[in-house]
Chain A
Amino acid sequence: MFDALSVSGTGMGVHQKWMDALSDNIANINTARPTSESAFRARWVVAQSIEDGGTGRGVQVAGIELGSTEGRLVYSPDHPLADARGYVRMPDIDLGEQMSDLILAQRGYQMNIASLDRVRASYQAAIQMGRG
C-alpha cells in the first residue's frame, strides 16, 4: 500500500551498505601485507534496480566486488613484514576518492530521507483532507 515508503527504504539500505564498505576501505588504508600475499582489496558495492514492470520497486545490493590485488610496493625496510628487498604491499586505495564517495553516499542517504518525508507528508495531507 505504501510503495514509495518501501522504495525509499531500499535506497537507504543500499546507501548504508555503501557507507559501510567505504568506511571499511578507509579503515584499512594502512593495512600492510607482505609482498608474497595480495594487497588489501578495496570493496565496491554493486547496486541493482528491482524491476517490476511498473514504477519500480527500488534498489538492492547485487554483490560486493573486490578491487585490485596488486597494491603499491612501498619501500620500508624496518617494517616487520618487509621482504628481503625491504618492500611491503600497501593497498592501492585513493583516500581522496574514498572521501568524496563517502560524501556521495551520505547525500544519497539524506536525499532518500527527504523523499520519504515528502511522501509521508502527502499521505498525512490526504488523510487530513478526509477528516475535514
Chain B
Amino acid sequence: MAVTGVGAVNLGQLAQLYRAQVAGGVQGVGGTAGTDAAAATRGADFGNVVKNGLSNLENLDRAAQGKAIQAATGDLTDIHDYVIAATQAQTATELTTTVRNKALEAFNEIMRMPL
C-alpha cells in the first residue's frame, strides 16, 4: 500500500484499495455475509416466481387471442373453448396484479419504517 506521492496517483492501485476496503468491510461485520446470501436467494426466487407467472400469463393470453380469432372467422368448433381460455387469462391477470400490489405494499411498509 505504498503511496507514491500527491502528484502521481496510480488509479489502478486506488481501485485495488477501494475493492480491498469494501471486501474487508463486509467480512468485518460478521454475520451479515450469511443473511446477504439468504436474502439474495430469496430475491432470486421471488424474481423467478414473478417471471414464471408473467410468462404463463403471456401464454394464456396468446391462447385466448388465438381462440378469439378462430371464433371470429368461424373456425371454432367448440364455442366454450374461447370462453374458458378468456376466463383463464383474466383470472391469471388478476392474480398477477394482486401479487404485484401485495409485494409493493410490503416494500412500502418496510421503507416507511423509521430507522
Contact = CB atoms under 8 A, between A and B. Distances in A.
Q: A and B: real partners?
A: yes
Interface of A: 1-2, 5-6, 8-9, 12-13, 16, 113, 116, 120, 123-124, 127, 130-131
Interface string B77-89: 0101100100110
A6 B94 CA distance: 18
Nearest to B84: A9
Given A5-B84, A9-B80, A16-B78, A127 B94 contact: yes
Given A1-B56, A16-B78, A127 B84 contact: no
Given A1-B56, A123-B91, A127-B94, A9 B81 contact: yes
Contact of A5 (B56, B78, B88, B98): B88
Interface of B: 56, 78, 80-81, 84, 87-88, 91-92, 94-95, 98-99, 101-102
Nearest to A12: B80
Given A9-B81, A9-B84, A1 B92 contact: yes
Given A5-B88, A13-B80, 7 more contacts: A6-B84, A9-B84, A16-B78, A123-B91, A127-B91, A127-B98, A130-B98
B80 A2 contact: no
